[in-house]
Amino acid sequence: SIKMDLLHSNGVLIIQHLQRDYRAYQDFLNFMSHVGDPRNIFSIYFPLWFQLNQVVGTKMIWVAVIGDWFNLIFKWILFGHRPYWWVQETMIYPNQSSPCLQQFPITCETGPGSPSGHAMGSSCVWYVMVTAALSYTVRWKDKSAVTLHRLIWSFLWSIFWIIQISVCISRVFIATHFPHQVILGVFAGILVAEAFEHTPAIQTASLRMYIKTNLFLFIFALGFYLVLKLLDIDLLWSVPKAKKWCANPDWINIDTTPFAGLVRNLGALFGLGFGINSEMFITSCKGKNSCKISFRILCIAASLATLQLYNFVKIPTHTEYLFYILSFCKSAAMPLTVVALVPYCVHSLMRTTEKKRN
């Protein structure tokens, strides 16, 4: 439509302006793209927060998973183009004078472009973190504390917006999103996070509840995909476009396909549910050691170190079904490690050293 073409062509002008005038900040912007990567939620933010506050850690995974699931459904409904292929295929530029957009190793995402998953994942998780940090300061009642609370409030929300804007600019700079797609992503993320501020039930969810949720999310997404396929609408239309117009075939990553994200998220949610309802978790995180600062710090350090090792586990990508199954298992292993395995090992170690002392 003419309106969308106008929106897209203006977006391309913004991308060109960023790529031309902010090239000096290329490394910083690429770094901010990694900061916004939804995968960091499971390997960095979650292990930190879960040991500090289990309620916040649990909420974080739920928000990340449900947010990313909504992101997938929105992407399938909105059919958003990505700049790096749109400029090559649109007819609005006269006689082959389509603008030149620079591509980067992280440009060639294969899913549809709207709304931005990075912007959405980043805003929903940082929203959870900021509101959690502020809930501690709300309890301060005396006069001086109120002023301090206001200062902290302003400071944390400023940080929140600086990070969101940086992530958005970085996604536009690398030509993987149009500006309207990242703005949509940020506000969609905030809405999802805000919805979870009012659902205390997730804190007491049983393993059965986790499995039911997982099945619902999977069957709904798969059903949606298959119904539209029957109507001759291919929801994976964006993958061939990405392969065709990506400057370097090595930059195309199966990790960025719509189903890869879905499987990763379902794995993480299952791993969390399995971990929280396991004997290991109940023994270690509900035991008398769990209140000790030393226990928590050891758990954080061991979790972060162990999860970095998972990055070295490369899943074979030649068979798609095998890739999805292994990806699910790897994603489930991460929260399970943080919630159950690491605390249990730390708890056992502390118990052994206490016995030796006595």
Query: Which residues carry a binding-site annotation for substrate?
Result: 82, 171
8 Å CB contact between 1 and 79: no
Residue in 8, 81, 177, 180 annotated catalytic: 177
Taking the CA atoms of 21, 23, 27 and 33 in sequence, report the sign of the dihedral they define: positive
Report how far apart, in Å, the C-alpha atoms of 162 and of each of 27, 166, 168, 273 are.
17, 6, 10, 33
CA distance 322 to 304: 27
8 Å CB contact between 284 and 83: no
Task: Give the number of other Cβ atoms within 10 Å of residue 203's Cβ.
Answer: 12
Catalytic residue status for 177: yes
Locus of tokens 């609005």: 92
Q: Which tokens sit at 298?
A: 């050891």
Element (H, E) at 184: helix 179-196
Residue in 8, 81, 118, 347 annotated catalytic: 118
- Going by the annotation, the residues of the binding site are 82, 171
143-173 helix and 117-137 helix, angle to the nearest 10 degrees = 170
* Residue numbers annotated as active site: 118, 177
